Amino acid sequence: MNTALFIARRYFFAKKKRNFINLLTFMSMIGVAIGTAALIIVLSVFNGLENLTRKLHTAYNAELKISAREGKSFVLNDSLMTTIKSVEGVKTVTEVIEDNALIQYKGTRMAVHLKGVSDNFSEQYQLKDQIIDGKFKIKEGNLDFALLGYGVYTMLSVAMNDEVTPLQVWYPKKGVKNISPTNPLNAFNQKAIMTGGVLFIEQQFDQNHVIVPLSFAQKLTEYGKNRTSLEVKVKDGFSINKVQRQLKRELENKSGLLVKDAQTETDGKFKGKFVVENAEEQQASILRAFKIERFFAYIAFSFVLALASFNIFFSLAMLAVEKRYDISLLFSIGGSKSMIRKIFYFEGSIIAFIGAIVGIVLSVSIILAQQQWGFVPLGNGNSIVESYPVELAYLDILWVCVTVVVVTILASFVPARNASHTSITSNLLK
């Protein structure tokens, strides 16, 4: 058995009178346990929120989205559509026109994000289960209908049983630069549309999104043959990433296709190439924000472990003073400075190890209990989920263990070094 480890274990487990060193040792273990548990739980909460965000955005984000790298839109012609549909694995291509617009209902107005989609949009999005009022429809015969985000619905106080009052939608007229102060709405195109249903997905979508038929958006915005994006549904059994790479290659070969801004008069002017994004890339900014917040949460709660390490530091420092005679005796029988340092490193490691094990068991128990019973609620009854989402990642536990090891080594360094410089003569003579 390793001599240094054996002595460290004897120091830790030996029966001894209760003193301040024992209290500090106990506080050190409790501190490490709390810090470890808190760090794992916080990281698990971020995992849960990130995965929930991914799932919610999947409901209305296309598997693949094609847009212009520069400019707001591009001209959709038969050649471009044929090129996209010829790629193996492409199931559905949905044409999209989206932009900001002004909407009014019974005198209440608000700015919204208007999204016009072609008739096959129901094959593209997983939205049917997100309808909380009305019906999942944007077309019924020759009539156009709008699907409102829950935030738009509540802000405008729309009555779903009102079959008389339509929504009024305004969009700036093409080429108008000056707005009359006496009649500002004259600078806008105006169209009316009835409400079809209300979607309840997540706050970012709900607060300002409105989905309408492509033909409605086309007339309102005067986009003509222009589209802001094309959204692609991949056939079952095909890899989304492979289809994405193939689309990029095909569109790169067709980079001379018309890509332009709908608001310019230079019809057909090439302004850039196409961008093909998967669902995760479409929400890259949100996921990046989660990763940044998660990193800072990790740093912040690592300081809890750092504070706990102060107790380890003081506990080992006082132990070194208490065991001066033992250390001097070890030196006198041939013990090296390296062995003395190892004794105190092992002592600190035992304290941290027990604390970390307790913290891991505690945190895993809390996380599993939250997943099973959801005893910590999230928001109110209008929330998508009733309780805080948590997801345990074993890599997080590994990183927390690495953090504990690093903190323990740093906390043990000075006491171990001081113990290895203990004077032999003065302590043995005493």
Residue 81 confidence (pLDDT): 92
Mean pLDDT for the stretch of residues 115-135? 89
Contact indicator for 189, 173 with CB cutoff of 8 Å: yes
Of 146-150, 195-199, 219-223, 339-343, least confident by mean pLDDT is 339-343
Geometric angle at alpha carbon 390, from 389 and 393, rounded to 5°: 150
Q: What percent of the chain has pLDDT over 70?
A: 90
Specify the pLDDT at position 425: 55
Amino acid, single-letter form, for residue 154? T
Confidence of residue 13 (pLDDT cuts 50, 70, 90): confident
Q: Tell me, rounded to whole angstroms, the distance of Cα 93 from its chain centroid.
A: 28
Q: Domain map of the chain by residue range? A: 3-57+286-429, 62-282
Q: Which of 66-70, 93-97, 179-183, 285-289 has the lowest mean pLDDT?
A: 179-183
Please check the confidence at residue 380 and state whether its pLDDT lies above 70: no
Range from 28-42, 224-238, 278-292 carrying the lowest mean pLDDT = 278-292
Alpha-carbon distance 301 to 261, whole Å?
48
- Residue 265: pLDDT over 60: no
- pLDDT tens per residue across span 283-327: 888 888 888 999 999 999 898 888 878 888 888 888 887 777 777
Whole-model pTM? 0.76
Which residue type is seen at 156?
L
The band of 245, judged by pLDDT with boundaries at 50, 70 and 90, is very high
pLDDT 10s digits, 16-29: 555 777 788 888 89
pLDDT attached to residue 227: 95
- CA proximity to 83, closest of 271, 256, 277: 256
Question: What would the DSSP string read from start to end of 32-96?
Answer: HHHHHHHHHHHHHHHHHHHHHHHHHHHTTS-SEEEEESSSS-EE--HHHHHHHHTSTTEEEEEEE
Q: Of 418, 430, 415, 413, whose CA–CA distance to 329 is shortest?
A: 430
| Torsional class of 114: left (φ above 0), alpha (ψ -120 to 50), beta (otherwise) | beta
Integer Cα distance of 306 and 251 in angstroms: 53
At 1 the pLDDT is 53
Q: How confident is the model at residue 257 (pLDDT cuts 50, 70, 90)?
A: very low
Range with the poorest average pLDDT among 17-21, 98-102, 250-254, 265-269: 265-269
Question: If you average pLDDT over residues 369-380, what whole number do you get?
Answer: 84
Q: CA 417, 419, 424 angle in degrees (round to 5)?
A: 130
CA distances 34 to 31, 62, 88, 240, 416, Å, are 5, 42, 53, 43, 25
Closest CA to 322 of 235, 205, 422, 174: 422
Task: Give the pLDDT band (50/70/90) at residue 268.
Answer: very low
Q: Between 254 and 144, name the one with better pLDDT.
A: 144
